[in-house]
Amino acid sequence: MDTWSIVVTIVSAVFILNVALAAAVVFFERRSPSSTWAWLFVLFFIPVIGFLIYLIFGRNTGKKKAFGPKIGIDEQIYIDFVKNTEGLVDEVENQLFSNDGIKLSKTYRHLLDFATLNLNSGSWMTYHNTIEHFTDGNKKFESLINDIRGAEKFIHMEYYIFRGDSLGRRIVDELTKKAKEGVQVRLMYDFMGNTALPKNFFKDLKAAGGKVCAFIPSFFIRLNYRNHRKIVVIDGKIGYVGGFNVGNEYLGLVKRFGYWRDTHARFEGQVVDQLQLRFMMDWNFCCDDKFEINSFYYPVKDVKNYLPAQIVSSGPDTRWHNVRNSYFKMINEAEKKIYIETPYFSPDDSIQEALKIAALSGIDVRIIIPAHPDHFFVYWASMSYLGELLEAGVKCYQYETGFIHSKTVFVDGIVGSIGTANMDIRSFGLNFETNAFIFDEDKVSELEKDFLNDLKECTEITYEKYSKRGKMFKIRESVARLISPML
């Protein structure tokens, strides 16, 4: 066979393969139209490289097979919890008609609908909680370490990133001490987010009796479907959730990022059970050391403070995009103001349109993103979406003092969200995420003050300034925007 024939054969094979992949994208995988067109663009215009990108990031056909069992495990754990928790069945069934529900509806007239939305995802409204929030990593981890030291029964910890640096060693040392005292310690980390961890990093903790588990270990080669959650539960009484991972950069000690601005919440009260349920669901799916519903892990709470809250999770292990749907609900129900902080802004079409409509309706919509991003591709995509919003009257800002990693949404000074989910397509459907939704005017107003203080550290992206961006920036922005919906 001559050289020309070999070339023709190779080109033909690549073309046939691309056609087959294109058919799979269009006919066999349920994608949004924008996602479909993005993948078709990659497959046909970057044939070989596009094929490799698709193999790593693009395939959705294995999702049901991989996580179908987890959905069943999660549902059974939830059913067992309801059956074994005295009074919860009546509370779940009747909460929308309770005096608490009536009180809440006067504060936020659409809260009953919101409660129903998340009840469908297995998250009921809890009424008696306390919350402390942190915007600085040093304060958050000092609080966490103090709570670890005070643990008497168990410590459950789940992080997307757990660095092997000085903060990571300090946390592991504290966990090891508690394990030696007889406290049950379980630590779960995302495999892909921690490939650089030394293999023997948890050796002492394991030797002391602690259990350590990687979420979706190395045999699962997909880069999608990462466990982006950050959850800690201590003694079933204290729960943490938010944006801080474990590592020195979250203390502002890494020069590349500078000061790290994030938001994390510490709860006591009824809502801690929902964090515990989520940890149990994730652990029992990935780890050999299964554990069961009982009063040891779900003690009776003595918190009487009135602060309604829900923990809402979503990802490949949920039937609905629960966090995304909750964001959408909040935006649609806004009457006065919407404040959003997110390091990555790449929303789907419905969220984008909802924000435009809100701004065009006279609602004060403000969005803060980093001025110094950690991923420039995401930054260019974010700017393309913000450009559209600027035309509609949305006020957009870049945080200049270090890196802002906070994932928060606040509406009308009444309802707020603190969690792990960014305002982007990946968090909406690919990653495992968990957010706390808070329905308390005093606390949400306090959180909004943090947002307004952050504005002092920001540069506004005006429409005039945005219109003057250079040609190369426009090209990068267009390419990033085109590829951003690839799911």
pLDDT at residue number 56 = 55
The catalytic position among 412, 424, 440, 454 is 412
> Token pair of 380, please?
């260019």
Per residue in 153-171, pLDDT (tens digit) is 999 999 999 999 999 999 9
Is 133 catalytic? The answer is no
The catalytic position among 70, 140, 228, 329 is 228
In this prediction the pTM is: 0.86
> Token pair of 449, please?
């003050």
Is 228 catalytic? The answer is yes
Angle 273-279-284 from CA coordinates, rounded to 5°: 125
Query: What is the CATH code for 64-91+127-306?
Result: 3.30.870.10
Q: Which of 167, 126, 96 is nearest to 305 (CA)?
A: 126
Contact assessment for residue 465 and residue 407, using Cβ atoms and an 8 Å cutoff: no
Is 407 catalytic? The answer is yes
The catalytic position among 128, 178, 407, 443 is 407
pLDDT at residue number 106 = 44
Is 412 catalytic? The answer is yes
d(CA 72, CA 215) in angstroms, rounded, equals 17
What residues does CATH 3.30.870.10 cover in the chain? 64-91+127-306, 322-483
d(CA 118, CA 125) in angstroms, rounded, equals 8
Cβ neighbours, 10 Å, residue 344: 23
Contact assessment for residue 114 and residue 326, using Cβ atoms and an 8 Å cutoff: yes
d(CA 109, CA 112) in angstroms, rounded, equals 7
- Average pLDDT, rounded, for the chain: 85
The catalytic position among 63, 140, 211, 230 is 230
Q: Which amino acid is at 85?
A: T
Homologous superfamily of the 322-483 domain (CATH): Endonuclease Chain A (3.30.870.10)
**Element spanning 175, H or E:** helix 166-180
Is 230 catalytic? The answer is yes
Please count the helices (runs of H) and the strands (runs of E) in the chain.
Answer: 18, 18
Q: Which amino acid is at 429?
A: G
Could you say which residues of the chain have pLDDT below 70? 1-2, 4-65, 85-113, 217-223, 482-487
pLDDT at residue number 90 = 47
pLDDT at residue number 152 = 98
Is 372 catalytic? The answer is no
Contact assessment for residue 420 and residue 160, using Cβ atoms and an 8 Å cutoff: yes
d(CA 253, CA 266) in angstroms, rounded, equals 23
pLDDT at residue number 101 = 46
d(CA 476, CA 397) in angstroms, rounded, equals 20
